[in-house]
Every structure is written in C-alpha cells, then in structure tokens.
Amino acid sequence: MDSLPADTRLLLLFAAAAQEHEPHDTGADSVLLTRAWQAAGLDPGRLEPAERAGAVHDDGVRVHFTHPLLRTALLRRVPVARRRAVHLLLAALLDGPHRALPRLVQQACAADGHDPALARALVRAAVAPRPYAERAVALARSALLSPDEDLRGARLAAAAEQAMLGGDPGRARELLAQVRAVPAPGRAHYVRGLLALRDGPVADAREALLTASALLAPYDAERAVRALLGATEAAWAMGDAAACLDVLRRIPAPQPDPALERYRAGLCAVFAEGLRREGRDLLRGGPGSEAVCDPDTLLRTAGAALVLGEIDAACRTGARALAAVRVHGPLSLLPQALEHLAYAELRAGRHARARTHAEEGLATADRLGQRNKAAHLHAVLALAASVEGGAAACAGHAEAAASVAGPHGLAQAATLATWALARADLAEGRSADAAARLLPLVGPGPLRGHFAARMLLVPCFVEAAALAGRGARPADAATAVAVAVAVEEFAVWTATTADPQAPAQLARCRALLAPAEEAAARYQEALAHHAGSGGGFEGARTRLLYGQWLRRQRRTREARGPLRDALVAFERCGARVWAERTAGELRAAGEAVPAGGDTGPLVLLTPQQQRIARCVAQGATNREVASRLSLSPRTVDHHLRNVFALLGVRSRGDLARLLDRASTGT
C-alpha cells in the first residue's frame, strides 16, 4: 500500500470507510464513492494503480478490497481526525429517508466516545425493510456508543440475532462473545439456543431456549414464546415426545395469535391423547388465507398437516412457506423451509421433486453453517435415493446424516437415515438386513425410533421381516412379536391418520402375514385402496409383492399382470433398482422382458439363473440368495450347480470375476 500514490491511497481510504456501514465483504457502493471522491476534489481515475496492484477490484457496482486486512490497515494507519472527516462526508452524501440507517452508521463511525442519542437513533432505524445484515451492523455500532452496560449487552445480543437471521452464524457468535462480559437477560441465551438448534447438540439448544424464555418473559413476552417454540423444535428433533409436551404446556394460553393458539392447543392434545378428534380439529385450523405470508406460521401449519397425515395440504403450505422465505427472509430459515417441503413431497411420492428441493436445501445449509439442518436434508436425500436406486448415494447421504445425528442428538434424522438404508436393502432383496436395521426402531421398548416417524417405518419392517422369515430362515421369536405388535399399532394409527397410503399399507402388511387362503384377498384389498389414493411407488411395491406371492403359489400366469403393472409404475417414478428387480421377477414368471444390457455369458442362463448368478457374484451365500429371491436353499444350490456348468466356472470367485469382466467389457 505504501508504494501507491498518495491520492490513490486517499481514494482507498474512502472505499474502506464506506464499507463500515455495509455487511461483511459486500464492498462499497461505486456511485456513493464516486460522489464522495468528487466532493473531496479527487480524481476517480486514480484508483487504477490500486487495481493494477491487486489491492481492490471495481466491478462497476461495488468496490471490493481483495483482502479484508487491507481495509483494516488503511483505517488504522490514518489520523483519527482524517478518518472522522471521511465518515462525516460520506454521511452527508447518504441523503433521503431510505438511507437513514447507513447515514447513522457513518455518523457512528465518526463519533468520539459514547453517544446515547445516536445509539438510540440507530436502534430505531435498525428495523425492516433494511436487510438483516445491515441491521446487525447498526446494532453493533449502537452497542459501542452505549455507556450503560445493560444496554450495551442487550444491543450486542440484538445484533447477534440479526446476524444469525441474515445467515451469518460466525458473526453472530463473535458478537455473543462480547456479551459475556456484560449482562443481557435472556436475549443472548435466546440467540445461543437458536444457533445450537441449527448447528449443535439439540439438548443444549433446548436448555438454552428454556432459560431464555424464563429470563425474557417479564419484559419481552413475544420473544419468550418464540424461545419456547424453538425449545419445542429442539425436543422434536431429539425424539422426546414428553419433552415436547412439557415445553408446549409452558406457552401461556390463550395466545393472542389464533393460529398459534390452535397449533399450541392442538399439539398438546395430540401429544397427550394421540390423533383424536380434538387435536385433529385444532391442528386443522391453520391459516387458510392466501394473504398469510409469515414463514414461521406457514411452516408450523405445514408441520401440523404432516402430523395429521394430510400430505397434499403439507405440500401446498410448505410451498407457500418456501415462497415467503424467498421473498421476505430470513435467509437462516431457507434450509428449514426446503427441508419441510422436500419431506412432504417424499411422503406424497414426488421423489424427484423432493430430491431437487433437498439438494438446494443442503447446499444452503452447508453455506450457512447449519450442520443440523444439513443432517436432516442428507436423510431426506437418502430416502429419495432409496427409491430412485442410487445405493451408493443412499449410503453416502445416510452416513453423512448419521455422522452429525449421533453427536448432536438428532433422533429424527437418524431414524430417517436408517429407514432409507433398510429400503435400499429391500430394493436389492436383502430383506433380513432390512429387518435387522428396523427392529430396534419399530420393536417394543423405550429405545425406539423417532415418535413421528415410527409408524411410517412399520410397513417396510413388516415386509422385510415377512420376506426374511419365508426365505432362508424363519423369523426369530423377538421379531415375530415385534411384527405382531407393530401391525396392531399401525392399525390403530391408520384409523386416526389422514395419510392416504395408510389403509393400503395396512392391508399389504396383513397380506404378507396371512395364510395362503387369505393372502390374495388382502392383496386385492390393498390394491383397491391404492386405486383411490395415488402414490405410484407404494402401489408398485404392493403389486410387486402380490406378483411374487402368486409366483410362489405356482400361479405364474396370474403373477404376470401385477408384475407388469409394478414394472410400469416403478419406471414411471424413476425407481430404477426396484424396476430391475421387478423385471427379473417377470422373466422368472416366463415373460420376455428386455434384459437391460445383459450380455456375454449371461445369455446362456435362464432368468432365474441370471438372478442367482448376480446375487452370488455380489458375495451372497446360498441362504442369503434364497432369502432375497423367496426360494429354498436347496433350489438355489441346484440352480447354482447348473450355472457353474453352463458358464464353465468352478468357484464363486470365478463367477464374480466372469460377470465383472462381462459388465465392463474387458
């Protein structure tokens, strides 16, 4: 910097000072700078040496320093009087009511010591529609001007809250670090709790928010209630239904906001008594008016719709919430809005759309440092991948979710990630593995999966346990008990939920467990329910299971119809691995289906032999193959001997190498 001409350094001083009222790293307004330079009698063209030296970059809209330390060094090296004069000149040029906040910040930068009047003016101006980041800058400046320690702490905490809402948790934590030396009853606990809710152990977030609510209640009732709502969200993420009810009961009743009061009372009723009429009626009373655009209200309403099982309503309201966040902010809420909508779309069977929203949410959460939200979005993406057939993607997202869910206590994310892995196991025919994953989450006992997701796992668990029990080995007694209990609980839930897939899933569960003389009627009942409820993926799964059952009953010709329908439905919803599995079943039922790329030695084998060869090449034992394909181990052994003879191989390793070479063309 010292090698630059003196007039160039003076231009840079204006650029550095102009950024004092801007959020971090946004640069300085080029138009404002040009006016300031001209007012000071400086030639704007003399900025060129600094650009050539790589100190700044002028893109025609903003002037950016290439490193923040350059700006800091410039401001610190000039005499205080000169720096104050520059700030005052900039303040004078920021005219008009719409520039009141940046003008006051420039005046604050020029202040000499405490200035309570200017501090109060900054607080009054740091409101909407100014961006959250600008409000954070102004409130932090007002804290520096405040001689009273209580006011200083409160204003630093307020600045931290605005920085957090603006998507800058790092800056929020920097400001909170300064609050520790001065009292700020409740506000600092509130911000720390919200930061931990998005990126920290959620049990810590809950405690911080409960403390914040108690401290805020005497003088800031509205924020105290918001703290309790945040504590409810933390308890929900933990999977602690009792803690959710405890926090909800602490919210003063009745609330002045009718929508919030219905939400509070409705959830209290649901947690206390289940999905009975009172709770359902209260939760249904969310904002129906299209004029409602508060993101928090809309997100709560979408969440309530999911609790009720009203999936289409959850998608509609979730889309409204996302639109409201995009238009009105805050940016910090965007990952949550995308997560809520993506999860609702998954429940609706719109897997590709859910993946698109979840991918955007994950990118935003990563950028904003919200690891807890990222974990939930990884779980949603794992579920989408378990349908669309990306086994590696499913495992990767599930692992990413679990890596944060464990240390941060995110029971919901962990449960959804495990469900995704189990569903991927089922897609590949590994029913015993799927049942083993789900048993701890669905079975009786206190250490079960997340209370809001547990019923959703039951159909998958029953399918896995039933298929594993009919294959290589019977289900053990503990699994049999867990299946029976889970189906009865699912029947109770089906009678109260509005989830359109539940009746069909219940009939499918009963079909899987029914004796042969009753199973066909149960499958037909499930298909009748599917016909009126949409849900292409779930309907396809029922048709696949029905076709498999018919084939096991040696009703091969009848099996082809459900299997054909299942194949079409899986292909339509992009469930690639499920479609491949169904195509294999169709071939085994004697129907010609394009082999999807089977070449080389596999053309020598029958469809059943091809399926067995692929499983063995993947490392499965004969008993595991039998479980996957619903055959007896003796039948697998017979087919495998013929496979070895036809392909001229002598071992499982030889078979795996042969198929690997065939798939790679080497």
| 140-156 tens-digit pLDDT | 999 999 999 889 999 99
Buried b (16+ CB within 10 A) or exposed e, 116-153: eebbebbbebbeeebbbbbbbbbbbbbbbbbeeeebbb
Strands lying side by side in the sheet with 62-65: 28-29, 62-65, 56-58
Q: Calculate the CA dihedral of residues 88, 92, 98, 104 and round it to 10 degrees.
A: 20
- Please return the burial class of 635, using the count of CB atoms within 10 Å of its CB with bins 0-12, 13-18 and 19+: middle
- Please return the burial class of 81, using the count of CB atoms within 10 Å of its CB with bins 0-12, 13-18 and 19+: exposed
Do residues 526 and 586 both lie within one domain?
Answer: yes
pLDDT average, residue stretch 13-18 = 93
Do residues 611 and 644 both lie within one domain?
Answer: yes
Do residues 521 and 564 both lie within one domain?
Answer: yes
pLDDT of residue 594: 65
Do residues 620 and 583 both lie within one domain?
Answer: no
pLDDT band at 518 (very low <50, low <70, confident <90, very high): very high
The verdict on residue 148 lying in a domain is no
pLDDT average, residue stretch 20-25 = 70
pTM given for the model: 0.84
Integer Cα distance of 654 and 659 in angstroms: 9
Do residues 509 and 578 both lie within one domain?
Answer: yes
The verdict on residue 655 lying in a domain is yes
> Higher pLDDT residue, 662 or 648?
648
> Higher pLDDT residue, 287 or 522?
522
pLDDT band at 278 (very low <50, low <70, confident <90, very high): confident
pLDDT of residue 474: 43
pLDDT average, residue stretch 439-466 = 88
Q: Provide the CB-side half-sphere exposure for 630 (13 A, CA).
A: 22
Q: Last residue of a domain, which of 542, 571, 594? A: 594
Measured CA to CA in angstroms, residue 358 lies from 45, 338, 445 at distances of 47, 6, 32
Integer Cα distance of 239 and 508 in angstroms: 28
Q: How many domains does the chain contain in total? A: 2
The verdict on residue 157 lying in a domain is no
Integer Cα distance of 226 and 200 in angstroms: 19
The verdict on residue 121 lying in a domain is no
- Please return the burial class of 323, using the count of CB atoms within 10 Å of its CB with bins 0-12, 13-18 and 19+: middle
Tokens of 485: 């209990």
Tokens of 390: 């990306």
pLDDT of residue 598: 46
Give the closest residue to 470 by CA, choosing from 314, 633, 330: 633
pLDDT band at 182 (very low <50, low <70, confident <90, very high): low
Give the closest residue to 318 by CA, choosing from 348, 339, 347, 290: 339
> Higher pLDDT residue, 515 or 473?
515
Integer Cα distance of 428 and 611 in angstroms: 11
pLDDT of residue 604: 65
Give the closest residue to 251 by CA, choosing from 270, 271, 226, 278: 226
Measured CA to CA in angstroms, residue 325 lies from 100, 316, 655 at distances of 26, 15, 55
The verdict on residue 360 lying in a domain is no
Integer Cα distance of 373 and 401 in angstroms: 10
Contacts of 197 (CB under 8 A, 6+ apart): 205, 209, 230, 233, 234, 237, 372
Report which residue type is found at 57: H
pLDDT of residue 614: 82
Structural domain range at position 640: 600-664
Do residues 621 and 651 both lie within one domain?
Answer: yes
Do residues 508 and 568 both lie within one domain?
Answer: yes
Length of the chain: 666
Do residues 588 and 554 both lie within one domain?
Answer: yes
The verdict on residue 227 lying in a domain is no
Contact 65, 54 (CB under 8 A): no
Beta bridge partners of residue 28, listed in sequence order: 63
Contact 225, 251 (CB under 8 A): yes
Could you give the percent of the chain with pLDDT greater than 70? Answer: 93
- Local structure of residue 357 (DSSP, 8 states): H
Contact 562, 543 (CB under 8 A): yes
pLDDT band at 287 (very low <50, low <70, confident <90, very high): low
Integer Cα distance of 449 and 428 in angstroms: 23
The verdict on residue 639 lying in a domain is yes
Integer Cα distance of 582 and 545 in angstroms: 10
pLDDT band at 471 (very low <50, low <70, confident <90, very high): very low
Contact 538, 505 (CB under 8 A): yes
- Local structure of residue 619 (DSSP, 8 states): T
Integer Cα distance of 650 and 40 in angstroms: 90
Contacts of 653 (CB under 8 A, 6+ apart): none
Do residues 578 and 505 both lie within one domain?
Answer: yes
Do residues 556 and 619 both lie within one domain?
Answer: no
User: Of 62-71, 354-363, 471-480, where does the model show the most confidence?
Assistant: 354-363
Do residues 515 and 588 both lie within one domain?
Answer: yes
Q: What is the mean pLDDT of the chain?
A: 89
Q: Collapsing DSSP states into helix, strand and coil, what is residue 386?
A: helix
Could you give the percent of the chain with pLDDT greater than 90? Answer: 65
Do residues 620 and 561 both lie within one domain?
Answer: no
pLDDT band at 525 (very low <50, low <70, confident <90, very high): very high
pLDDT of residue 281: 83
Q: Last residue of a domain, which of 594, 620, 637? A: 594
pLDDT of residue 597: 45
The CATH number that applies at residue 519 is 1.25.40
**Helix 576-588 crosses helix 536-552 at what angle (to 10 degrees)?**
20
Task: Express each pLDDT in 581-620 by its tens digit.
Answer: 898 888 888 887 765 544 456 666 777 788 888 888 888 8
pLDDT average, residue stretch 272-285 = 81
User: End-to-end CA distance of the chain, in Å?
Assistant: 61
Integer Cα distance of 276 and 270 in angstroms: 7
Using the predicted structure, report yes or no on whether residue 97 has a pLDDT greater than 90: no
The CATH number that applies at residue 620 is 1.10.10.10
Using the predicted structure, report yes or no on whether residue 317 has a pLDDT greater than 90: yes
Integer Cα distance of 496 and 560 in angstroms: 35
The verdict on residue 573 lying in a domain is yes
Task: Express each pLDDT in 215-229 by its tens digit.
Answer: 999 999 999 999 999
Q: How far is CA 529 from the centre of its chain?
A: 30
